[in-house]
Structure 1
Amino acid sequence: MAEATPSPGQQQPQGTPAPGAPAGKTGGKGGRKKTRRGVTRGIAHIKSTFNNTIVTITDMNGEVVAWASAGTVGFKGARKSTPFAAGRAAEAAAAAARKLGMVEVEVRVKGPGAGREQAILQLQHAGLKITSIEDVTPLPHNGCRPPKKRRV
């Protein structure tokens, strides 16, 4: 007996391609991870908040090559906001980017956090050549009212 195509209301069985889909594609989000070999220049985005520091290394088009945060390298709670944790996050992101061939980066720093300088230093110590450093912290032209001061 020939297989009947499901009507629009019926669910497609798992693992079978959708009608009209190319053979070999099962229509999920699975698949191979894209490898980015030979990316030599990039941008290191350092977002340093009062609670955490996130280091994202992208190629020149903005496609993410590697990233790390103080939380992903093992720090929890208040220790995530320390300069040491920011340095470890930068170290981890730089190591991952170097494995993919990254040699030099432009650094863009955003935010008021404590880990800004330490993250930049660790990117340099990890062997990445820093070509420029830019502060891209958004500054309001007297926009929203800031939160009220804490009374402890």
Structure 2
Amino acid sequence: MANNPKSAPQDKEPAGAAAAKTAAKKEASAPAATPAAAAAPAAPAAPGAESAATAASERTARVKAARTVSVGIAHINATFNNTQVSITDPKGQVLAWSSAGRMGFKGTRKSTAYAATIVAQEVARMVAPHRMQEIEVRVQGPGTGRESAIRALQSSGLTITAIRDVTPMPHDGCRPRKRRRV
């Protein structure tokens, strides 16, 4: 029974990760030899490498400092099953995003125009700390939430400068889905 591989507990992590955790525990529990050695920063293992604490603090500082972005791009992806809205800066960095599923809508309610309105209002609220004033809207997909999401963005105080339909159109590419029989 002991030699049966099915009854033995399975190790979920690779052997290298387990060894690294053990080494990290030993380093953390070992006291520093002298106070000077504890105060001196450790040399990076590889050229250009940073310590994990420094990288984590830089990421936190970047997230906390809300950049002022006055012009942005709103990407609305309206499918038959869901509506996703994300707002980016002109370079393409995502500032805020949401979807009908994220807002708590389930099943067929995700594809409604009301769900798209709620999603667009939430994204506009999330982008408010960036002091965004103007957006260009890029709509993709055939879903029912296209127009209602645009109206919700406009009613939330954002000025819409342009609306573009960026739905990819096939030049006789893939075979379409079969027809629904109702």
After TM superposition, the score normalised by the length of structure 2 is: 0.70
Query: Aligned pair 1:25/2:41, yes or no?
Result: no
1:136 to 144, 166, 172: 166
Greater helix proportion: 2
Q: Which has the higher contact order (CA 8 A, sep 6+)?
A: 1
Query: Aligned pair 1:83/2:94, yes or no?
Result: no
1 CA distance for matches of 2:87 and 2:133?
A: 12
2 CA distance for matches of 1:23 and 1:62?
A: 29
- Over the aligned positions, Cα root-mean-square deviation in angstroms equals 2.5
1 CA distance for matches of 2:140 and 2:55?
A: 38
Per-residue CA deviations over 1:28-54 (Å, capped at 9, x if unaligned) read: 7x9415243211100000000000000
Q: Which residue matches 2:128?
A: 98
Task: Name the CA shift for 1:37/1:26 in 2 (closer, same or farther; >3 Å).
Answer: closer
**Structure 1 residues 47-66: aligned runs within 5 Å:** 47-66=77-96
Larger radius of gyration: 2
1:123 to 133, 137, 153: 153
Instruction: Give structure 1 stretches of 5+ with no counterpart.
Output: 1-8
**Structure 1 residues 104-119: aligned runs within 5 Å:** 104-119=134-149
1 CA distance for matches of 2:50 and 2:98?
A: 36
Greater strand proportion: 1
Could you say what secondary structure the match of 2:127 adopts? helix
After TM superposition, the score normalised by the length of structure 1 is: 0.83
Task: Name the CA shift for 1:75/1:23 in 2 (closer, same or farther; >3 Å).
Answer: closer
Q: For the Cα contact (< 8 Å) 2:100–2:116, is it kept in 1?
A: yes
1 CA distance for matches of 2:88 and 2:59?
A: 22
Could you say what secondary structure the match of 1:51 adopts? coil
Q: Which residue matches 1:148?
A: 178
Q: Which residue matches 1:13?
A: 24
Q: Which residue matches 1:3?
A: none
1 CA distance for matches of 2:44 and 2:130?
A: 38
Q: For the Cα contact (< 8 Å) 2:66–2:129, is it kept in 1?
A: no
Q: Which amino acid aligns with 2:162?
A: S
Task: Name the CA shift for 1:53/1:25 in 2 (closer, same or farther; >3 Å).
Answer: same
Per-residue CA deviations over 1:104-138 (Å, capped at 9, x if unaligned) read: 10000000000000000000001000000000000
1 CA distance for matches of 2:51 and 2:80?
A: 50
